[in-house]
Amino acid sequence: MKSVFNRRDFLTAGAALAGSLMMPTAFAATRERVRIGMIGTGMRGQVLLQELLRRDDVEVVALCDIEPIMLGRALKQVEKSGKAKPKTFGEDRDPQAYKRMLDAGTLDGVIIATPWEWHAQMAIAAMQAKVPVGCEVVAGVTLQDHWDVLNTQLKTGTPYMLLENVCFRRDVMAVLQMVRSGLFGELIHLQGGYQHDLRAVKFNSGDPAKPYGGGVEFGAKGWSEAKWRTEHSVQRNGELYPSHGIGPCAMYTNINRGNRFTRINSFATKARGLHDYIVKQPGGAASPNAKTQFKLGDVVTTTLACENGETILLQHDTSLPRPYSLGFRVQGTDGLWMDVNNSIHIEGKSKPHQWEDFQAYQDKYDHPLWRKHAKDAEGAGHGGMDFFVIQSFIEALKARAPMPIDIYDAVTWSAITPLSEQSIAQNFQTLDFPDFTAGAWKTRKPIFAL
């Protein structure tokens, strides 16, 4: 696939950000192609790799993973694409192998798609090595991780983007157009979340051929996310995966760009779903894992207050049977949109007290990027949005423009997790939300994707 993004899409954004995110001279001139490395070629890494391999403006020059099966699968993808074989790192299972890849001095950018506990240290090492970072959600685990990632970015000037793909969902972007055109009036309240039955992701048999379900193993005996993600449900109680929900809501409310989160609290229910799932699986009741105490409440509800008077409610709900839904709601003085019923109600346009089907609004307000690139996005992961998230990272790298989801967005969205854990641990206390921008939110301009 050719590089199809109009560079001006990003340069406009770049101009608006100049002054708040200075580019070091090392990143001064534009380029036609970029050399990319990947750390983590697991299930997600392979999806992102496919997007990279489709492009003729990207050379995948290095891959790093400490699981030889995952690394082998990624190499097969490259071979199938007919592209040159990348250098590989991590076959020796050395968890620090990624540092050798970063130090080789051959990368224009690196994508990090490893378990959460690795993101902050890998991003910091990459930024210190002057390798721009595209990091999978989340930015870090502890609050200190978030400050460390931010401070390293500010100190080194190395670009950093959080690869939050839901911001690029077609309806989410159309709603951004609606918000900006004033269709909802003044925004009042928003909702989103991560409502995704992950039980068959958190437990499997450990068989590399079957990453989803089919067993009750996790940790060392699990495979893919069951190897590491489940442990977070054992050890932590909070909004563990905020960015899919908060990313779009933060875009709509211009967080860090004229607005900011001021206060946060979280409530957690009891934890039943994961244990229930284990004992209902064949042989599950007899498994030692049936004795595991999970700390993560089945439904965690987080409320954020914003400087400009809006509230945002997030729900993390991954341990119970339910269909997938991010549960978006955008409500203003003139009406609201909810994605779960794909409906909208606008006073003066919709019949009083009735929902209208969203489709006509989707067609009218379709985002210019989607109008232009819908064909290119066909077949890409998650209904096309993975095309856009990779596209935006690569185009910003080529143009040496600021990242469309930048370091301030990354740490602000992702720090919701440790803050929500703290709130729950302190009996659901409401906490002050740190201002990672040190006051710059007052003057930064809305830029996302426009």
Q: Does 118 bind ligand NAD (CB under 6 A)?
A: yes
76-84, 112-120, 276-284, 357-365 -> range binding ligand NAD (CB under 6 A): 112-120
Residue type, 149: V
Residues 6+ positions from 15 with CB-CB distance below 8 Å: none
Tell me which of 52, 62, 64, 149 binds ligand NAD, using CB under 6 A: 64
Q: Provide the β-strand partners of residue 357.
A: 343
25-33, 34-42, 150-158, 337-345 -> range binding ligand NAD (CB under 6 A): 34-42
Closer to ligand NAD by CB, 227 or 367: give it: 227
Residue corresponding to tokens 């950018």: 109
Tell me which of 158, 177, 205, 224 binds ligand NAD, using CB under 6 A: 224
Residue 38: Cβ within 10 Å count? 28
Q: How far is the CB of 53 from ligand NAD (least distance, A)?
A: 16
Residue 333: Cβ within 10 Å count? 11
Q: Does 75 bind ligand NAD (CB under 6 A)?
A: no
Residue type, 148: D
Q: Does 127 bind ligand NAD (CB under 6 A)?
A: no
Q: Does 388 bind ligand NAD (CB under 6 A)?
A: no
43-51, 143-151, 186-194, 286-294 -> range binding ligand NAD (CB under 6 A): 43-51
Residue 426: Cβ within 10 Å count? 11
Longest dimension (CA), the chain: 65
Closer to ligand NAD by CB, 227 or 260: give it: 227
Strands of 140-198 (E only): list them. 160-162, 187-195
Residue type, 292: T
The candidate with the shortest Cα–Cα distance to 434, out of 215, 256, 228, 238, is 256
Q: Does 237 bind ligand NAD (CB under 6 A)?
A: no
CA 9 to the chain's CA centroid: 21
Query: How would you classify residue 118: left for phi > 0, otherwise alpha for psi between -120 and 50, otherwise beta?
Result: alpha
Q: Does 66 bind ligand NAD (CB under 6 A)?
A: yes
Tell me which of 57, 136, 339, 421 binds ligand NAD, using CB under 6 A: 136
65-73, 278-286, 308-316, 438-446 -> range binding ligand NAD (CB under 6 A): 65-73
Q: Does 232 bind ligand NAD (CB under 6 A)?
A: no
Helices (H) and strands (E) in the chain, counts: 16, 15
Binders of ligand NAD among 137-196, rule CB under 6 A? Answer: 137, 165
3-state helix, strand and coil shares in percent for the chain, rounded to the nearest 5: 40, 20, 40
Q: Which residues bind ligand NAD (CB under 6 A)?
A: 39-45, 64-67, 70, 90, 95, 98, 113-116, 118, 136-137, 165, 224-225, 227, 382
